[in-house]
Amino acid sequence: MSIKLGVNIDHVATLRQARKEVDPDPLAAARVCKTSGADLIVMHIRQDRRHIQDEDLFKLRKAGIHMHLEMSTASDIVALATKVKPDSVCFVPERSGEITTEGGLDLKAGGKLIEKAIAKLKGEGIEVGLFVDPEAASVRMAKAIGADTVELSTAKYAKTLGKHKQEFELERLELAGYLAHELKLGLHAGHGLDYHNVVPVAQIPHMACLNIGFSIIARSVFTGLKTAVTEMKKLINSR
Ligand code: PXP
């Protein structure tokens, strides 16, 4: 089974919002990503709307491109998702002022709220995933509160320096992955993945989808988006 690539295009919108112009257009970027091998287009609708805007979601939906929405459980965001009806969503923690998502959800503290939000979106026929750290307790809890998939956070793996420490982080991902598979949860991963660190994560048994944004958009400045996406898709399936 080939591994799916979700390309996160938030940073195309970041560039557009720097001037509040119409270019670069995230929808145009999504089209290039799709024709270059992306299986799904990932967007994070943040409460502060710092990059992706509500209109971007409706435009992508209208274009019929497979849409994976990253979002918090804030009630207005959940209400927006019920209107947009993405193919799938992933609940992520969101802290105002953070530079990027800082880690997996705290399912112990937020479990009840997240469970309600999962039920609401699943009721609309949307596949629901949870962004979690690679820990057994989080994966078990994700299953218990009704998630369809888990997206394991690769942030720590990506940031860790040194062969042995990185191998340790990879093992944590592998173990969490086995557990997710055993519990019949779809297995996804992402955050901080780039052209240098992605292959070992792609080799994790049962991995179905990798969601990658920053490294692809950063590389596209030099190579163009088509080449950046094509190279990543090739790399993750080079096992
Ligand atoms: N997965 C999740 C849940 C995220 O929040 C993000 C960042 O928006 C990504 C994947 C992509 O991370 P990166 O931009 O570092 O590739």
pLDDT of residue 97: 81
- Give ligand 1 pocket residues (Cβ under 6 A): 8, 10, 44, 70, 90, 92, 100-101, 131, 151, 190-193, 211-215
Domain housing 24: 4-236
Residues 191-227: tens digit of each pLDDT? 999 999 999 999 999 999 999 999 999 999 999 999 9
Residues 55-66: tens digit of each pLDDT? 999 999 999 999
E strands in the chain: 4-8, 40-44, 67-71, 88-91, 127-132, 149-153, 186-190, 209-212
Count of domains observed in the chain: 1
The better pLDDT of the pair 94, 49 is held by: 49
In this prediction the pTM is: 0.96
Q: Check whether 138 has a pLDDT greater than 90.
A: yes
pLDDT of residue 212: 98
pLDDT of residue 173: 98
Nearest CA to ligand 1 atom 4: 191
Here the tokens at position 21 are 């112009």
pLDDT of residue 223: 98
CATH number of domain containing 159: 3.20.20.70
Here the tokens at position 154 are 């690769």
Is residue 232 within 8 A of residue 5, CB to CB? The reply is yes
Q: Check whether 237 has a pLDDT greater than 80.
A: yes
